[in-house]
Structure 1
Amino acid sequence: MLNENKELSTEDIFNRVWKNDEDANPEVVWVYVSYLRQKLRSIGSTVKIEGEKGGSYELVK
């Protein structure tokens, strides 16, 4: 798994994904992380996204 156990801040994720979107704000990161967590649970994945709103996130197996 690429970038396993590597912490990425909300700001890092926001700048990489929504860098050119003037209407977006960092809150959108939390929304999509929540969505991805639900998807991972629904498929029974052993991969989890750890972290909290406004902080940093990391992929954990």
Structure 2
Amino acid sequence: MTMSKTVVRRILLPMLAVIAVGSLAGCGRNGEPVLPDKKQDGFPAQYPRNTDPQSGVFN
């Protein structure tokens, strides 16, 4: 059984378009980001926090 071109044009292409538009519609948020309660903004953080020389196996 083969699909005719009209079936593809009339059913499958609009269905794929609806799926594509629907999947992109949920992307993104409205408004500014809000920190949770009792949290502080840690940005920009300095890396590394400790400036002392590191010690370890490879030193």
TM-score (norm: length of structure 1): 0.29
TM-score (norm: length of structure 2): 0.30
Structure with more contact order per residue of length (Cα contacts < 8 Å, sep ≥ 6): 1
Larger radius of gyration: 2
